[in-house]
Amino acid sequence: MKIAVLSRNPKLYSTKRLVEAIEQRGHTSQVIDHLKCDIVMDENGPYIFYNGKALKDIDAVIPRIGASVTFYGTAVVRQFEMMKVFSAVDSLAITRSRDKLRSLQILSRSGVGIPKTAFTNYSRGDNKVLKHIGRAPVVIKLLEGTQGLGVVLAETDKAATSVVEAFESLNTRVILQEFIEEAGGADLRAFIVDGKVVGAMKRQGKEGEFRSNLHRGGHASVFKLSKAERETALKAAKCMGLAIAGVDMLQSKRGPMVLEVNSSPGLEGIEKATEVDVAGKIIEYIEEASSRKRLPKDKVKA
């Protein structure tokens, strides 16, 4: 097979590992910068032009779409899907997972444990919306933040109201979330490939930090999930429509609570913590699923 990794940087750990795994399993690899793809369509069908040439011989793509280029990146993935090229991650599922509010709405509908969350159009400087959560401390999050940026812990009701007001004055939308104190500045990341947890790790934030993101100085170690944690992670990935996913969960008194389902989860932290060949598992999944899941041209979802 010819398998393309859609990535802007061939030097990234995840991109390099995927290319290695593609070659190791006897396939041909290509790294394609999705931002340099032109999307062209007419009545004869959809095309993608890359470096001035139409891409014709790709059998499968692995999207590694950065959060800052979700719109263009998912348009390229969708175009591949329209061309009947198998995508390891569904374009629609990437779009869903990138929006914190939309993800939580889907998880909540599916009965997946999540911290209680509220969203309001306009709080008018009062703390009515806060009442849905209970009371401070409360976590306030930008709708499209990543790597822990734009995640604020407001310790008092007054601080929460001021932070929401400040974001509103900048026309920036936020969600308010119950603070799960007992998580102790740690979270769990379950890496899922094709309905199985292939590895899990616990990330602990640095001293005095409630956010466990590795980018914020947290560290990761291999972790054995409980049955409830495994089931929650699998259910979360499934309801989001993601065959490959990194599910982030908090350990709470009420059981595992999902924070986020990542559609381009990094391989470095999980492979180093667990010593599992996650890249190899992804290619194995593509080999098996690309034949089984190919849809007839007129059935491709948009």
Binding-site ranges for ligand ADP (CB under 6 A): 115, 139, 141, 145-148, 151, 177-180, 183, 187, 205, 210-213, 248, 250, 259-260
Output 21 or 180, the one with its CB closest to ligand ADP: 180
Output 3 or 160, the one with its CB closest to ligand ADP: 160
Q: Which residues contact 112 (CB under 8 A, 6 or more apart)?
A: 232, 235, 236, 239, 258
Output 131 or 293, the one with its CB closest to ligand ADP: 131
* Smallest distance, ligand ADP to C-beta of residue 247, A: 11
Exposed / middle / buried, residue 81 (Cβ in 10 Å: 0-12, 13-18, 19+): buried
Exposed / middle / buried, residue 25 (Cβ in 10 Å: 0-12, 13-18, 19+): middle
Q: Which residues contact 7 (CB under 8 A, 6 or more apart)?
A: 14, 15, 31, 32, 33, 34, 64
* Smallest distance, ligand ADP to C-beta of residue 190, A: 13
Output 201 or 250, the one with its CB closest to ligand ADP: 250
* Smallest distance, ligand ADP to C-beta of residue 274, A: 18
Positive or negative, the Cα torsion across 256, 206, 273, 150? positive
Output 21 or 183, the one with its CB closest to ligand ADP: 183
Residue 252: in which H helix or E strand, if any? strand 244-252
* Smallest distance, ligand ADP to C-beta of residue 145, A: 4
* Smallest distance, ligand ADP to C-beta of residue 67, A: 9
Cβ proximity of 108 and 121 under 8 Å = no
